[in-house]
Amino acid sequence: MTEQTATGVSVDARPDGRADFDFFIGTWDSHQRKLQQRLQGCDEWEEFHGVSVAYKILGGLGHVDEVTFEMPTGQVVGFTLRLFDPQTRLWSIYWSSSARSVIETPMIGRFEHGRGAFYDREVFEGRVIISRFIWTSSGSDACRWEQAFSADGGRTWETNWTADFTRRDDVQG
């Protein structure tokens, strides 16, 4: 099964999961909320705006987006690379930013029933934690991403960053 992209390129659209992030193709405004301190019981949020531009790569086996955050401390640019493995039907999500220009440990996961859950183990402030991303879509013009950390092996979670996205009317993917 193939479909035509906006650029006229045919891509594989099999229902195996490779189209799970297609809802995010295009240009988005976002309202970002980030805890000022993570895993310390903090309830003070920093709020700022961002603009994301996302598109498919590798004939639909990957997605890329670049986001520009207008944070209180200044502008930060981030880059996400998402790669789909047709054998395992899992996505790997890689992140880097102008604040820390390294490719972070990938988040691994999939969508089930319209909800994407992605996990990794990483070191945060000297201790091993589990990090989780949740992606949900509210139709073609709105979606949400959230990040949570667990310091107790996944028994409890602290949501520490959320992003509510609204598709820009002037540019659609």
The one-digit pLDDT tens for each residue of the chain (173 residues) are 444 444 444 444 557 899 999 999 999 999 999 999 999 889 999 999 999 999 999 999 999 999 999 988 889 999 999 999 999 999 999 999 998 888 988 999 999 998 999 999 999 999 999 999 999 998 889 999 999 999 999 999 999 999 999 999 764 44
Residue 56: name the closest of 27, 30, 24 by CA: 24
Amino acid at 101: S
Collapsed DSSP state (helix, strand, coil) of residue 132: strand
What pLDDT shows up at residue 118? Answer: 98
Residues 69/78, Cβ–Cβ less than 8 Å: yes
In the prediction, which pLDDT does 172 show? 46
Tokens 């594989």 correspond to: 12
Q: Say which amino acid occupies 78.
A: G
| 57 DSSP assignment | E
**Rounded Cα–Cα distance for residues 96 and 77 (Å):** 9
Q: Is the dihedral of CA 104, 109, 111, 115 positive or negative?
A: negative
Integer CA distances (angstroms), 159 to 29, 53, 58, 108, in order: 21, 24, 32, 18
Q: Global pTM? A: 0.86
Confidence (pLDDT) at 170: 62
Burial of residue 26 (CB within 10 Å: 0-12, 13-18, 19+) is: buried
Instruction: Report the pLDDT value the prediction gives residue 104, as an integer from 0 to 100.
Output: 83
Tell me how many domains the chain contains: 1
pLDDT tens for each residue of 87-113: 999 999 999 999 888 898 899 999 999
At 148, which CATH number? 2.40.128.20
Cβ atoms of residues 128 and 150 within 8 Å: no
- Confirm if 77 and 68 have CB atoms less than 8 A apart: yes
Q: Which domain holds residue 24?
A: 2-172
For 142, counting Cβ atoms within 10 Å of its Cβ (0-12 exposed, 13-18 middle, 19+ buried), the class is middle
Q: Give the pLDDT confidence score for residue 13 in this predicted structure.
A: 53
